[in-house]
Chain A
Amino acid sequence: MNAHVDVLDLVSRLKAAEEPFALATVVRTVSVTAAKAGAKAIIRPDGRIEAGWIGGGCARGATLKAAREALADGQSRLISIQPEDLLAELGVKPGDDRDGVKFAKNMCPSQGTMDIFVEPVMPRPALLVLGASPVALALAEQAKPLGFHVMLAAPLGDLLTAPEVDRLVDGFAFDVPQTVRRFVVISTQGKGDEAALKAALAFEADYRGFVGSRRKMASLREKLLGEGIAGTVVDSVKAPAGLDLGAITPEEIALSILAEITLARRQGQRAQGTESLTRKGN
């Protein structure tokens, strides 16, 4: 813990560096507490409190646990840390969840109640576009408003102009972005299909799509199997990539892929109650 670092400054630094962390903020206190409303702390995924102060040992265990959970599921939560007798009065046990509030025991019996809001701040999901085809370039452009960290990898000689992306890589050898969710699209148009596919299969991804016909993918599949890559891994690639919209132009195909990626991105969260605005709310 470094008391000299301003928490909000560090928040913006970590965000800019795409580093995951949880921000804990004391929002309410009752009676004697070590920290007052507004106190903040930054908690890293390894459980380290990187900056700030939320009241030492009394609330530490419960806050770190909430931070760990928040970083795992991407959801914010409110915890209420109270002395055991007050919890009993409310009729709850430590660990209970009621009306969106999670209760925990204050480890310092003489102390009061602290409500702490814990929110995960995750790096942007990464969109890796492999190839310099018109579909690849259109996709990199269209993905901008959707909050992806966009990386485009291609032999730079194939690009007439440098696309506006977060990261541009020459060739298909790249460091995999360290983030929670990754979406990969291979659109090489016959130029280095195999090398790009191999690169795309070498790391965990939420979505892999190949822009090309089923037949093309089938012949590449044989080659990849021949090199010892597992069939189940190769079969995780959606080919052809994109929802079936009858898309014809490269830009339409790119959009159909973006729609499919959105579907994949939100599918995991739906189970946790994120509503589909297009179906229910608008």
Chain B
Amino acid sequence: MDQLVLERLNRERRQRRAVVLVTDLGDGGNRLVCSGDIVADHVLGEAIETAVRTGRSGVVEAVGRKYFLNVHVPAPRLVVIGAVHISQALAPIAKVAGYDVEIIDPRTAFATPDRFPGVPLHAEWPEDVVKTQPLDAFTAVAALTHDPKIDDFPLMAALDAGCFYIGALGSTKTHARRVERLRTLGASSDQVRRIHAPIGLDIGAASPAEIAVAVLAQVIKALRSRGCDGEREKAA
């Protein structure tokens, strides 16, 4: 592998972008396919897209040659706005499912370590946390506080960052008011359509723990059905 290819591969990985290293197992040639170029790759396009969506590396054959596709997909993050009851159930099950979970809630009475053992917790405003840890296409955001002062900013930031999943707690009526506020803040109608609200798959959830299951199920579904740039939903 060429040094420039390796440098670029590492740069993309550090930037939390999906990238595939394609190695021709016949002649040893390597090339790097980044998110934007995948569709244009007519020989291996489909195989590469599947590899990125599933996160699975492997050997594929095309036009009589064998290629190894090594997929580098960042670990999915789940940013939960609100250190509430639902979050207490959501954090452990999402961790088991392979997500890097963190919880943001400026209300210090809620965001206490004994309510969330072993979960990174920011008792700060989302505005301040997002500055140092920007949201990206491999991040899911679930806004659960019911408080526009806390929820609205991260929802807006999630839309702008093209997060693969954005969900917000609240009834259809509450959400209609939220949509109005977000539109005033400059969100397009296509953007606000990406927000899952009321949050969670409709599985009849009747307790905070069951809502947590409904939310995580929806997050997984979004991750596994997204396009290779993590933004299929946005484009659709």
Contact = CB atoms under 8 A, between A and B. Distances in A.
Interface in B183-236: 197-207, 209-214, 216-217, 220-221, 224-225
| From A141, A248, A274, residue with most partner B Cβ within 10 Å | A248
Contacts, number: 121
A277 B211 CA distance: 7
A267 interface: yes
A282 B220 contact: no
Nearest to B53: A246
| From A252, A260, A265, residue with most partner B Cβ within 10 Å | A252
A275 interface: yes
A251 interface: yes
A269 interface: yes
A279 B212 contact: no
Contact of A252 (B88, B97, B199, B203): B97
Interface in A228-282: 243, 245-249, 251-252, 254-256, 258-260, 262-263, 265-267, 269-270, 274-282
A246 B220 contact: yes
A37 to B, nearest CB: 30
Nearest to B90: A145
A142 interface: yes
Nearest to A281: B171
B209 A276 contact: no
Contact of B216 (A144, A255, A267): A255
B96 A251 contact: yes
Interface string B159-200: 000000000011100100000000000000000000001111
Contacts of B221: 245-246
A276 B204 contact: yes
A260 to B, nearest CB: 8
A146 interface: yes
B209 A145 contact: yes
B113 interface: no
A262 B213 contact: yes
B217 A245 contact: yes
Nearest to B146: A282
Contact of B198 (A262, A266, A280): A280
Nearest to A244: B221
A138 interface: yes
B55 A248 contact: yes
A138 B199 contact: no
Nearest to B88: A145
A147 interface: yes
B115 interface: no
B47 interface: no
B93 A142 contact: yes
Given A245-B224, A262-B204, A278 B98 contact: no
B35 interface: no
A255 B169 CA distance: 20
B213 A281 contact: no
A281 B224 contact: no
A132 to B, nearest CB: 17
Contact of A255 (B93, B198, B204, B205): B93
Contacts of A256: 217, 220
Nearest to B93: A142
Given A145-B89, A245-B221, A256-B220, A278 B199 contact: yes
B171 A282 contact: yes
B213 A258 contact: yes
A251 B98 CA distance: 7
Contacts of B30: none
A262 B203 CA distance: 6
Given A280-B171, A280-B198, A281-B198, A249 B204 contact: no
B56 to A, nearest CB: 7
Contacts of B206: 266, 269, 274-277
Contacts of B93: 142, 145, 255, 258
Contacts of A275: 206
A138 B92 CA distance: 12
Interface in B70-126: 88-89, 92-93, 96-98
Given A248-B54, A255-B220, A282-B200, 16 more contacts: A141-B96, A142-B213, A145-B209, A243-B201, A245-B217, A247-B224, A248-B56, A251-B96, A252-B224, A255-B97, A262-B204, A265-B204, A269-B204, A274-B206, A277-B211, A279-B204
25 contacts: A138-B97, A141-B96, A145-B89, A145-B92, A147-B209, A243-B203, A245-B217, A246-B220, A251-B98, A254-B96, A255-B213, A255-B217, A259-B214, A260-B203, A262-B214, A263-B203, A263-B204, A265-B204, A266-B204, A269-B204, A269-B206, A277-B210, A278-B199, A279-B198, A282-B169
Closest 6 CB pairs of A and B: A246-B224, A266-B204, A278-B200, A259-B217, A282-B198, A245-B221
